Copies of this chain bind each other. A is one copy, B any other.
């Protein structure tokens, strides 16, 4: 069974007809470590579901690299948010391991929203989930110390340190590499 379809179904039930329509529009990719999935906002017009591997979304702020998001297996990555904010510089999505992805083009998604009320519903519920995730991240940046944020990240993704370089994790947590290194030293 297609894992992406299964992922969508966890948000709201889909009919066989809707599932078949989605499946027709999916694209499958198997790409090597360090592949640059997207190199610029203007060119990115798909969302990606990660079947296997890790991807990292990043952008540049005053010529410094900011890691915005990690995508692990079973989650979605793509310019859902920053795509709407053109003032931000170009960003990209990099693969940190050999990765299997399933993508769907925005135009196809829009057409599916038009055709199927039930798919529009999944889209709405997904957006609300994203709101909750973002709100949690906002709270964590606003109220938790750097050490607490790191602890919580480890709770959620215990293997992250084996899969993602320290500097990327630090940037995701909104701190410098140096600070994260010190946090780890105080085991």
Interface set of A (CB-CB < 8 Å, partner B):
61, 80-82, 84-85, 113, 117, 120-121, 123-124, 127-128, 130-132, 134-138, 141-143, 174
Contacts and interface: CB of A to CB of B under 8 A. Distances in A.
Nearest to A174: B142
Nearest to A135: B81
A124 B114 CA distance: 12
B113 A121 contact: yes
A124 B134 contact: no
Contacts of A141: 138, 141-142
A137 B136 contact: no
State the oligomeric state as a number of copies: 2
A61 B143 contact: yes
Contacts of A120: 117, 120-121, 124
A130 B130 CA distance: 10
Contact of A131 (B127, B143, B174): B127
A131 B130 contact: yes
Contacts of A85: 132, 135-136
Contact of A132 (B81, B121, B136): B81
8 contacts: A85-B132, A85-B135, A117-B120, A127-B128, A134-B134, A134-B138, A138-B141, A141-B141
Nearest to A117: B117
A156 to B, nearest CB: 15
A11 to B, nearest CB: 12
A132 to B, nearest CB: 5
A84 to B, nearest CB: 5
Contacts of A81: 131-132, 135
